Structure 1
Amino acid sequence: MNNQILKQMGCLWEHEGILCSLKETSYDSENDIHMTDSLMHVVNFDQVKTLRSSELRISQPPTSADALYRDGNGLLYLIEFKNGCVHKADIFNKIYDSIVFLLDRKVLIDLADCAKRLAFILVYNSEKYHAEQDKIPSWGVISNYFSSLGHLPPVFDYIARFKGYCFNSVCALNSSEFNVNFVKEHDKGYSGQIH
């Protein structure tokens, strides 16, 4: 299924690393850790962005989400892994640049199509996230309150504004929640072989 996305994007998928495992796209080289062990096949969106930037000879390359996944129903998922600090401007830039690329390559037709067929998942390291938030007075009380209501933690609330506008759904999941809720649902029957 993700091969179809590559063909639609006009990518030369003979480039090594374009189609890879979700585990590979979740790798944090600074800390030498993967945020998931899933072998499900995804498009390495960082690699696609790098190739496209080179092709266009862009001096200041755009940013992008880490992975693009297409499920059996044609729903596309942009997945961004953040093992360290999560900066609002960084996430906004990654969302914007990723959507522009998908529209430019005609993977999606327009913003209405994005809002219908595109989802965004921010996967974060809860230990590092909470360690950063512990530096803010009373953060634990605030965070626990919002968590108990089932909402995004306040620091991630800003991505909710994209729902219905650029995405059909948005969520921020810690790596454990991502592995239980997303990977378990979509990672059925992957042998690790990438075709």
Structure 2
Amino acid sequence: MIDLDTYPIFSSHHSNLRKLSLDDGKGQKIYMTQSTRDAVNFDAVKKEYIKSLGLSKVPSSNDALFDDGRGLLVFVEFKNGFISRKKKLEIWKKLYDSTLIFADITSTGISYMRSNMKYILVYNETVNQDNDLDEDLKKKRKTAVQPSPAFDAFAKNVGKYANEEYVCFGLIIFQNYCFKEVHTYTETEFDAYLSTL
């Protein structure tokens, strides 16, 4: 497995998951995890990576990259806000762009990533409950791809009985294509996952 610290572009952008999960929009600071687990700030990696490329459009990137200590590298994207169809496409673009950036930096390919990497989207399960939404967001919700918290809970429970994990937002298409594993976790589920490492 790749040792991230052997690449200066990764080793110079260390942070922790708590800091990388920060959503400071709308005038308040919200952390999606309290974990201080070491991680690479992949947004900062992207910024350094593109400096010399002279790009007309800046690529997107995932928030974090870390070694799970079990032989896999893990990309993490934190999404605290409402996930509309547009946001879903933005998540997919971040995933693709991050994959290309990582592969170029490490001189690996998608086959390496398919065997040695996970992708995790951490999302806020309560942000779309009707009682917390203004009228504009209620209208957006009707056309959104994000299932309701009740549907997520139902699908996850059914998945447990079927011995399969439910993956939201259509991200399952990236499993066995770009990554060995793909997961969509609520904040609580992500913290539970981290506690197993």
**TM-score category by the smaller chain?**
0.7 to 0.9
Identical aligned residues as a percent = 29
The aligned residue for residue 152 of structure 1 is 166
Deviation at 1:74, TM superposition (A): 3.0
The aligned residue for residue 195 of structure 2 is 184
Q: Structure 2 matches for 1:32-43, cutoff 5 A?
A: 32-43=29-40
Deviation at 1:13, TM superposition (A): 4.1
Mapped partners of 1:142, 1:71: distance in 2: 29
Mapped partners of 2:36, 2:150: distance in 1: 37
Mapped partners of 2:10, 2:74: distance in 1: 21
Q: Structure 2 matches for 1:1-195, cutoff 5 A?
A: 4-8=3-7, 10-11=8-9, 13-14=11-12, 18-30=13-25, 31-86=28-83, 87-106=87-106, 109-131=108-130, 135-136=141-142, 142-143=151-152, 145-150=154-159, 151-152=165-166, 156-181=168-193, 183-186=194-197
Deviation at 1:110, TM superposition (A): 1.6
Mapped partners of 1:33, 1:178: distance in 2: 16
Deviates more, 1:141-150 or 1:25-34: 141-150
SS of the residue corresponding to residue 9 of structure 2 reads coil
Aligned length: 177
Shift in alpha-carbon separation, 1:40–1:130, aligned structure 2, 3 A: same
Deviation at 1:157, TM superposition (A): 4.4
Mapped partners of 2:40, 2:149: distance in 1: 37
Shift in alpha-carbon separation, 1:141–1:51, aligned structure 2, 3 A: closer
Mapped partners of 1:141, 1:32: distance in 2: 27
Shift in alpha-carbon separation, 1:20–1:12, aligned structure 2, 3 A: closer
Question: Do the aligned partners of 2:4 and 2:10 also contact (CA within 8 Å) in 1?
Answer: no
SS of the residue corresponding to residue 177 of structure 1 reads helix
Mapped partners of 1:69, 1:146: distance in 2: 28
Gaps of 5+ in 2: 160-164
Cα-Cα RMSD: 2.7
Gaps of 5+ in 1: 187-195
Q: Which amino acid aligns with 2:65?
A: L
Question: Do the aligned partners of 2:43 and 2:63 also contact (CA within 8 Å) in 1?
Answer: yes
Mapped partners of 2:18, 2:149: distance in 1: 31
Shift in alpha-carbon separation, 1:39–1:69, aligned structure 2, 3 A: same
Deviation at 1:21, TM superposition (A): 0.9
